[in-house]
A and B are shown apart, each in its own frame.
Chain A
Amino acid sequence: MATDNNSLSALIIKRLALGLLLLLAISMVIFVGTELLPGDVAQSILGQSATPQAVANLRLEMGLDRPAIERYAQWLFNILQGDLGTSLSSKREISQMIGDRLGNTLFLAACAAVISVPLAIFLGMVAVHYRDGFVDKMISITTITTISLPEFFIGYLLILYLAVTWNILPSSSVVYGDMPLGERLTAIALPCITLTLVVLAHMMRMTRAAILNVMSSAYIETAQLKGLSPFRIIFHHALPNAVSPIITVVVLNLAYLVVGVIVVEIIFVYPGMGQLLVDHVTNRDVPVVQAAGLIFAAIYILLNMFADIMSIIANPRLRHPK
C-alpha cells in the first residue's frame, strides 16, 4: 500500500511539474503572439495615420528597441513578482485594474458552476434511467440545440423576456465593491442562467454516456437480478464507476465557463475580466491583453491539470499505465 501511495504522489507531482512547464510555455506563446507578429506593433497600435515621431516614442516606451528575448525575460520576471506592468491607454497599474474584476469573474463562474454541475449530473442520470424513451430523446435534441446556440442568442432572449417583458430580473449586471450578497446574486442571475444553459447540455450528455458505458457491465446485471431499484443501481453501482470521466467533463466545462464568461460579460455589461480583455483588444493595449490573456490561460490550464489529478485519484487503473 505504501508503494502505491508513493507512486500516486509521484504521479501527481509529475503532473504538477508538467502543468508548470506548460504554463511557462504558454507565457512564451502569448508573448510571441503579441510581439513577433509581422509588422510593427507600435505602428499597428497607433494606426496608419500616426506620425513617425509618435511611433518612435511608443516603440521606446514599450521597449521595442531591445531584443525580444530580453523583453520576454523582463516581462516574465516582473509577472512572477506580481507586477503585471502598466496599461498603455490609461497608464494605470494592470494588477490594480484586474484585482476586483478577477474576483467578479470568478464569482460569476462559480455561481454558474454551483447550479450547473449538480443539475447536469442529475439530469444525466435521469436520461440513463429513461434511456431510448421520450425523455431521453427530448434531452438529446435539447443538447444538440443548446450546443449550437451562440451565447448572445440565449443571453438576449433572456433579457428580452425576463428583464424587459416580464421585468423579473435586472437586464444589466451592475455590481460594485460592497454590494450586499443578496443584491449581488440578483444582479448576476441572468448571466448565471445563460452560462448554466451553455454548459449544462454538454455535461449532461457526457454524464449520460459515461454512466451508460458502465451500465453494460456484468455487475450492473447482477444488481438488476438482485432486484435493486433502478435509481439505486444508477446511483450506487454505476455512478461511482463513472466518476472519473464525469470529473473530467465537469472540469473541462468549468474551464469553458471561464472562457465563455467573456461573451456573457459583454452581453450583460458585467465588470469582469472578459470585458477588460475585449475593451483592451479594441484599444490595442498590448500589455493589458497579455496580462489578461495569461490569467485566462492559466486558469484554464490549472483546471485541466486539476481534472487530470482528480481522475488519477478517482481511477486507480490510470496509475498503472500499460
Chain B
Amino acid sequence: MTNISMRSLASHLSWAARIGLLCLILFSLAAIFAPIVAPYAQDEILGDVWEPISSKFWLGTDQLGRDILSRLIHGARNTFFIAGAATILSFFMGTFLGFLAAVSGGKTDQLLSRSNDLMMAIPTLIFALVVLSVLPSSMLVLIVVMGVLDSTRVFRLSRAVAVDIVVMDYVEAARLRGENTLWIIFREILPNALSPLFAEFGLRFAFAVLFLSTLSFLGLGIQPPDADWGSMVKENKDGIVFGIPAALIPAAAIAILTISINLVVDSILSRTSSLKGGR
C-alpha cells in the first residue's frame, strides 16, 4: 500500500476510528519507550498497599504498593509483544497453509481443511488450557500455542479469499507459464489478498490481546515477576470486594486497546467494502 493511499484511507476514517488510532499510537509509543516514559521502576515498592490516585501515583498503587501506571506501561510491552508475535505466527502459518490448500485443491485441500475443521471444533480456550496443563509456562510456549490455535481462523479466511483468486485468468496464465506452487502463492495470490488479510490482522491482534489477558488472568499466562495487563488484573482482584478499583485499571486498558483496534478495523472495512461495491 503506497503512502498516498494510506493517507487517503486515513482521511476517510470516521471520527471514532481516529480516536481509536490515536489511542493505538499512544499505547505503542508508551510500550516502546517504557523505561523513559514510566515514572517509576515496575517492581519497586514505593508506597502503601492500594493507595488511591494522587499526584505522586497517577493511577494509585497496587497490592504490594507498586506504582500502577509504571507497571501498566511496562506490562504493555509484554502484552503487545506476545500478542503481536502470536498473531504474526498465526498469519504466517494460516495464510501459507490456506493459500496452499486453495492452490493445490484435491486431496491436499481436503486434508488441510478437514484437519482445520477438527481443530476449530474445540473451543480455543479449552484447547489452550488442555495443552498448557502439560507444557512449561514460558513466553515462547504462550506465543506458539496462541499462534497455532489462532492460525485455524486465519486459514479459513485466507483459503476462502484465495479460492476466489485461484480461478482468475492471471493465475491460469502463471500456471501455463509453468510457475511452481510457491511462486503462485507469493507472487500471484498474496498481493491480491492483502487488503482483507490486513483487516483480519487487526481483529486477530485484538483477539490475541484478549486471549492472552484471559490466560494471564486465569494464572496460566505470563508468570510473576513478569507482568502483563491480564496478570495485573489477577494480582489486584482481591481489592474489588473492599471497593478498591485497582484491578479495573489494567482491565480498562485492555478494553480501550481492543475497542480502538475494532473501531479502526471497522472503519477500514466499511471503507474498502464500499470501494469494492459492497463485497
Contacts and interface: CB of A to CB of B under 8 A. Distances in A.
B266 interface: yes
A37 B218 contact: no
B126 A284 contact: no
With most chain A CB atoms within 10 A of its CB, the pick from B123, B126, B218, B252 is B126
Contact of A300 (B122, B255, B259): B122
B214 interface: yes
A109 to B, nearest CB: 13
Interface in B97-143: 118-119, 121-123, 125-127, 129-136
Interface string A259-275: 10011001100000000
B254 A278 contact: no
A296 B123 contact: yes
A148 B122 contact: no
With most chain B CB atoms within 10 A of its CB, the pick from A41, A44, A282 is A282
Given A45-B134, A149-B255, A160-B245, A277 B129 contact: yes
Given A151-B214, A278-B220, A157 B133 contact: no
The SS class assigned to the B binding surface is helix
B263 interface: yes
Interface in A131-155: 141, 144-145, 147-153
Interface stretch (A8-16, A28-36, A177-185, A212-220): A28-36
Contacts, number: 148
Nearest to A147: B262
Nearest to B251: A153
A160 B248 contact: yes
Contact of A141 (B16, B135, B217, B242): B16
Given A34-B130, A148-B206, A282 B118 contact: no
The SS class assigned to the A binding surface is helix
A256 B124 CA distance: 11
A93 to B, nearest CB: 19
A162 to B, nearest CB: 12
A284 B133 contact: yes
Contacts of A208: none
Interface string B245-279: 10110011011001101110010000000000000
A165 B243 contact: yes
With most chain B CB atoms within 10 A of its CB, the pick from A33, A45, A301 is A33
A171 interface: yes
A297 B122 contact: yes
A171 B213 contact: no
B133 A152 contact: no
Given A22-B121, A30-B122, A164 B240 contact: yes
Contact of A278 (B119, B129, B245): B129
Nearest to A290: B130
A212 B27 CA distance: 37
Contacts of B130: 30, 33-34, 281, 289-290, 293
A276 to B, nearest CB: 11
A280 B133 contact: yes
A311 interface: no
A156 interface: yes
B131 A263 contact: no
Interface residues of A, number: 55
A293 B210 CA distance: 21
B219 interface: yes
A160 B263 CA distance: 27
Interface string A276-320: 011011101110011001001100110010000000000000000
Given A29-B122, A150-B254, A263 B132 contact: no
A261 to B, nearest CB: 10
Interface string A19-32: 00010011001100
A254 interface: no
A25 B118 CA distance: 7
B137 to A, nearest CB: 10
Contact of B217 (A266, A284, A297): A266
B262 to A, nearest CB: 5
A248 B275 CA distance: 30
A159 interface: yes
A309 to B, nearest CB: 16
Contacts of B136: 39, 44
A281 B122 contact: no
A172 B237 CA distance: 12
B4 interface: no
B218 A29 contact: no
B134 A37 contact: yes
Given A45-B134, A145-B259, A157 B214 contact: no
Contacts of A165: 243
Query: Closest 9 interchain pairs by CB?
Result: A148-B258, A153-B251, A293-B130, A289-B133, A148-B259, A259-B123, A281-B133, A164-B243, A296-B126
Given A34-B131, A160-B245, A293-B129, 12 more contacts: A29-B127, A34-B134, A35-B134, A44-B136, A144-B263, A152-B247, A281-B129, A286-B133, A286-B134, A293-B130, A300-B122, A300-B123
16 contacts: A29-B127, A37-B131, A39-B134, A44-B134, A144-B262, A153-B255, A156-B240, A164-B243, A263-B218, A278-B129, A278-B218, A281-B220, A284-B134, A293-B127, A296-B126, A300-B123
Interface of A: 22, 25-26, 29-30, 33-35, 37, 39, 41, 44-45, 141, 144-145, 147-153, 156-157, 159-160, 163-165, 171-172, 255-256, 259, 262-263, 266-267, 277-278, 280-282, 284-286, 289-290, 293, 296-297, 300-301, 304
